[in-house]
């Protein structure tokens, strides 16, 4: 029986992360890919899976330890010497950590009544997450930790809910997200009642019927839909549940305002089309390794970098009484995938040309669709662009991806009659929707940002100025 050391794999951009959950104990039999521990950075929590199957012999870390790539997690006694890949003696590839939830991530986006497209903050390869969840045995109880999945723990931490006080309604007392919500509601109703009783005793009865927690809202409608017609129930996808918490927080906590404007991209679009034609021709004549298709989004990323440089408060984050001005330019873009929205990040977009940005966007969007984005590829954004240009629509109100302070939504460009002082002329107009955090940015600043952005898109030579 061979002894195998299990180490922390590549965890993206995170130098050090804290161990917040041990999911196995000595003597447990684990499968390859089964989650062993949960670690947490300031942005997200991740499950670290096992690269091999075996029996846990020694655990080399404890709760609260700081670990990084290469840190020894535990040793396994292998059940046989066949690796999970089926090839004896061939070490299998290190599994990727699973991003479970992001406390500060984007995408905030979600879906108040489907009206406002929003971004997703964090994402998980769903298939992998499902494996990890299925493999997650309730060993936390044995360690005197409340029994809950990492995403529920994260959710509870974000709300400041002490999990030890929450009664679990799941299998074997497992605490679910609904339990955490119910706990919050109960506490808020209690607090509201107390407040109402002390301030205005006569209103207490009215408040007690209010299930909308501390917001003073009426309860969520409970409807038996089958009374009205046939229905089908489906579980909400895991990514959507994770992003919902982020979106809700951002929607509630950030005073959003959205400015709409239009940019005349007639000349830029002509240049883009010509550039793509040249690339295709060049590829056909064998002068090029491959065709890089350039879309408007790559130009938008570059234009936003220029606007962020001119208006640095758009490239900041609130930290208590201070604003943190970033001197780097990492731009997130929302990517629509079968598993939900993800927001990969183009790092150092200021140092990259349109072709490089287009190539990276293509690669990151593919990884997003395949559920293969690493945590590092989804973190660090200063500003996010959500483009619905390939689909349609006119304007929308994107939700800011905290801790960013603004997000640009873009819809489909179309030919419009524009008055040039003498006549109406056909121009290709791109609708822009900029949502901004009113704690950091004022309306005049936002209008200037949009005007400047439109000027750049109208004459891209301005990027050089
Ligand atoms: N106006 C008109 N046409 C546009 C356009 C715009 N603003 N933006 C893109 N297009 C065109 C492209 O040129 C392309 O045309 P062809 O197929 O004729 O070449 C087509 O639309 C499709 O573009 P694309 O979507 O593949 O490429 P992209 O670079 O514009 O976007 C990506 C890439 C990954 C951002 C996109 O595929 C995507 O996922 N968008 C959805 C994002 C989203 O859901 N946001 C909402 C978040 S909030 O809930």
Distance 409 CA to ligand 1 centre (A): 12
CA 5 to chain centre: 32
Per-residue pLDDT band for 145 (boundaries 50, 70, 90) equals low
Per-residue pLDDT band for 209 (boundaries 50, 70, 90) equals very low
* pLDDT at position 79: 74
Per-residue pLDDT tens digits for 243-295 = 888 899 999 999 999 999 999 999 999 999 999 999 888 887 776 567 889 99
Per-residue pLDDT band for 213 (boundaries 50, 70, 90) equals low
Span 64-70, mean pLDDT? 91
Per-residue pLDDT band for 165 (boundaries 50, 70, 90) equals confident
* pLDDT at position 156: 76
Per-residue pLDDT band for 395 (boundaries 50, 70, 90) equals very high
Closest to 133 measured CA to CA, from 148, 122, 123, 120: 148
* pLDDT at position 80: 61
Per-residue pLDDT tens digits for 435-450 = 999 999 999 999 999 9
Half-sphere exposure of 144 (CA within 13 A, CB side): 1
Is the model's pLDDT at 302 over the cut of 50? yes
Residue of minimum CA distance from atom 34 in ligand 1: 335
The proportion of the chain whose per-residue pLDDT surpasses 70, expressed as a percent, equals 76
Mutate to test the pocket of ligand 1, among 243, 335, 387 (most ligand atoms within 8 A of CB): 387
Phi, psi of 39 (to 5 degrees): -120, 160
* pLDDT at position 168: 85
Q: Which residue has the higher pLDDT, 330 or 125?
A: 330
Active-site positions read: 438
Q: Pocket residues for ligand 1 (CB within 6 Å)?
A: 109, 117-119, 295-297, 333-336, 341, 365, 386-390, 398, 410, 412-413, 430
Distance 315 CA to ligand 1 centre (A): 24
Per-residue pLDDT band for 95 (boundaries 50, 70, 90) equals very low
The proportion of the chain whose per-residue pLDDT surpasses 90, expressed as a percent, equals 52
Domains and CATH numbers, the chain: 3-120 (2.40.50.100), 150-222 (4.10.320.10), 255-464 (3.30.559.10)
Q: CA-CA distances (angstroms) from residue 284 to 112, 278, 290, 416, 455? A: 47, 10, 9, 35, 35
Is the model's pLDDT at 69 over the cut of 70? yes
Per-residue pLDDT band for 415 (boundaries 50, 70, 90) equals very high
Per-residue pLDDT tens digits for 215-253 = 788 888 999 999 999 999 999 887 788 788 889 999 999
Per-residue pLDDT tens digits for 195-205 = 333 333 333 33
* pLDDT at position 84: 43
**Given the CA of residue 413, which atom of ligand 1 is nearest to it?**
1
Q: Which residue has the higher pLDDT, 415 or 37?
A: 415
Strand 66-67 versus strand 54-59 pairing type: unpaired
Is the model's pLDDT at 172 over the cut of 80? no
Mean pLDDT of the chain: 80
User: What pTM, to 2 d.p., does this model score?
Assistant: 0.63
Distance 329 CA to ligand 1 centre (A): 22
Q: Of 17-31, 145-159, 268-282, 367-381, which gets the smallest average pLDDT?
A: 145-159
**Given the CA of residue 365, which atom of ligand 1 is nearest to it?**
34
């Amino acid at each position: 029986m061979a002894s195998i050391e299990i180490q922390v794999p590549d965890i993206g951009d995170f130098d050090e992360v804290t161990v917040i959950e041990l999911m196995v104990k000595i003597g447990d039999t684990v499968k390859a890919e089964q989650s062993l521990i949960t670690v947490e950075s300031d942005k997200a929590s991740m499950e670290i899976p096992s690269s091999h199957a075996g029996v846990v012999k020694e655990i080399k870390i404890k709760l609260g330890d700081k670990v990084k790539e290469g840190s020894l997690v535990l040793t396994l006694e292998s059940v046989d010497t066949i690796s999970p890949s089926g090839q004896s003696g061939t070490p299998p590839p290190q599994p990727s950590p699973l991003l479970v939830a992001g406390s500060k991530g984007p995408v905030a986006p979600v879906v108040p009544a489907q009206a406002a497209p929003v971004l997703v903050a964090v994402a998980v390869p769903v298939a992998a997450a499902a494996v990890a969840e299925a493999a997650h045995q309730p060993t936390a109880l044995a360690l005197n930790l409340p029994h809950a999945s990492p995403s529920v723990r994260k959710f509870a931490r974000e709300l400041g809910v002490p999990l030890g006080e929450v009664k679990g309604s799941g299998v074997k007392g497992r605490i679910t997200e609904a339990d955490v919500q119910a706990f919050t509601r109960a506490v808020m109703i209690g607090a509201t009642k107390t407040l109402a009783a002390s301030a205005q005793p006569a209103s207490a009865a009215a408040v007690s019927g209010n299930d909308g927690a501390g917001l003073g809202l009426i309860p969520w409608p409970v409807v038996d839909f089958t009374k009205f017609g046939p229905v089908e129930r489906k579980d909400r996808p895991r990514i959507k549940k994770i992003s919902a918490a982020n979106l809700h927080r951002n929607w509630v906590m950030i005073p959003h305002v959205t400015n709409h404007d239009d940019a005349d991209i007639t000349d830029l679009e002509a240049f883009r089309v010509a550039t793509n034609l040249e690339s295709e021709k060049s590829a056909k004549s064998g002068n090029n390794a491959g065709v890089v298709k350039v879309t408007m989004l790559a130009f938008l990323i570059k234009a936003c970098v220029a606007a962020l440089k001119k208006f640095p408060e758009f490239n900041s984050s609130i930290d208590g009484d201070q604003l943190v001005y970033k001197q780097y330019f990492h731009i997130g873009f929302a990517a629509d995938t079968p598993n939900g929205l993800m927001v990969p990040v183009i790092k150092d977009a200021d140092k990259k040309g349109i072709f490089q940005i287009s190539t990276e966007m293509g690669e990151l969007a593919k990884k997003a669709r395949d559920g293969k984005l690493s945590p590092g590829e989804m973190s660090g954004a200063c500003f996010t662009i959500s483009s619905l240009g390939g689909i349609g629509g006119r304007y929308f109100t994107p939700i800011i991806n905290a801790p960013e302070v603004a997000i640009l939504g873009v819809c489909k460009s179309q030919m419009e009659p524009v008055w040039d002082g003498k006549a109406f002329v056909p121009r290709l107009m791109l609708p822009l929707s900029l949502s901004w955090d009113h704690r950091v940015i004022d309306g005049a600043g936002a209008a200037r940002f949009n005007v400047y952005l439109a000027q750049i898109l109208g004459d891209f030579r301005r990027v050089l100025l």
